Copies of this chain bind each other. A is one copy, B any other.
Amino acid sequence: MSSSFGTLFRVSTFGESHCKAVGVVIDGCPPGLSLTEDDIQPQLSRRRPGQSAISTDRQEPDQVMILSGTENGKTLGTPISLQVANKDQRPKDYSSMRDIPRPSHADYTYQAKYGIRASSGGGRSSARETIGTVAAGAVADKILRETYGIEIVAWVSSVGEIESQAADPETITRDQVEQTTIRCPDNEAASRMEAYVADLKEMGDSIGGVVNCVIRGVPPGIGEPTFEKLEAKLAQGMLAIPATKGFEVGSGFSGTRQRGSIHNDPFTFKDGRLGTVTNNSGGIQGGIANGEPITLRIAFKPPATISLPQDTVDFVGEKAVLEAKGRHDPCVVPRAVPIVESMAALVVMDMVLRQKARQAFAHMF
């Protein structure tokens, strides 16, 4: 069950890097929604490998197919099966890694856990697994946008030491993000980031970065205390994305250095209801959305697979030098942008459904 996520809008993903297909089954999608492959493909295409000079060279069209759950372009309320074929596998690239576990990759831990592992491509630990998340997230995203006007936008805020100027969470759009290859809305920083990543790719090295995300328009009341607080499920979702090492909501770690008298967000009256003057809370108080933009930051480490030689040991403990051959991203953050947005959509969609169930009784007592 650990490849499933969500309670009422529940997704179950499957697929390894080099098997026949990867995909997802969505159970609990509301009926009557207009849905075709065209609603899902754009986010998959933003995620797909080979999309730019600074991503991996693996070429996958990642065309999605809806197998069930819709008829005549409408959802039936039944499970929606979404599938993407794996096409460009090169298992022989991985021969050197059969005996030498890649440092900071999952070869060793998968072997320790399962006693067996996919012989190439990272198997289930590959970022190809995120195709299911992105496909399902596109469905959730569409529902949230069409019913509540909820907008979810992620962007790259730093690559290595290069930080972009702060974007305005109130106004930033996916279109703005899409204007640079690296998906950073600060053009000047973006140029430096792209050049830096290109250099690292040339060198066979890699670099980390930070993705910011804002979720706008979530109505007050969304989120399920105690263990499924909105930020708790967002944290789970984000840390389930490969290569993530950290998560912040609102003021995050910088908020730990502030006094309450400064950090607190005073209430004010705006847009016909209570809002807050500042937003150090990042749109969530007590695990429940307060109506302000939900602001997140997610840390991505440098990709573990690099082609520079690494001194390590093989599976039996003998010293070895690994020179990896696979095709890999020098920096994952541009491709992580739609993944972060999708994960956010999955979390919020599930929480909205759960709050709706509760509210249905509110007027009945």
A112 to chain B: which residues have CB within 8 Å? 220-221, 288, 290-291
* Contacting pair B7 A302 (CB below 8 A): no
**Number of identical monomers bound together in the oligomeric complex:** 4
**A247: which of B83, B242, B247 is its contact (CB, 8 Å)?**
B247
**A208: which of B208, B256, B353 is its contact (CB, 8 Å)?**
B256
Asked if A125 is at the interface of the complex by the 8 Å CB criterion, the answer is: yes
* Contacting pair A109 B221 (CB below 8 A): yes
Name the distance in Å between A56's Cβ and chain B's nearest Cβ: 14
Main SS class of interface, A: mixed
CA distance A4 to B79 in the complex (A): 10
CA distance A115 to B33 in the complex (A): 11
CA distance A304 to B251 in the complex (A): 13
* Contacting pair B362 A32 (CB below 8 A): yes
* Contacting pair B286 A115 (CB below 8 A): no
* Contacting pair B313 A77 (CB below 8 A): no
* Contacting pair A20 B68 (CB below 8 A): yes
* Contacting pair A109 B259 (CB below 8 A): no
Asked if A195 is at the interface of the complex by the 8 Å CB criterion, the answer is: no
Quick one: closest B residue to A314, CB to CB? Answer: B267
A70 to chain B: which residues have CB within 8 Å? 19
A252 to chain B: which residues have CB within 8 Å? 245-246, 299
Asked if A200 is at the interface of the complex by the 8 Å CB criterion, the answer is: yes
Asked if A174 is at the interface of the complex by the 8 Å CB criterion, the answer is: no
CA distance A226 to B206 in the complex (A): 24
- Pick 12 A–B contacts, CB within 8 A, sort by A: A1-B6, A1-B27, A3-B226, A4-B10, A12-B79, A14-B81, A19-B67, A76-B118, A108-B267, A228-B240, A235-B235, A256-B301
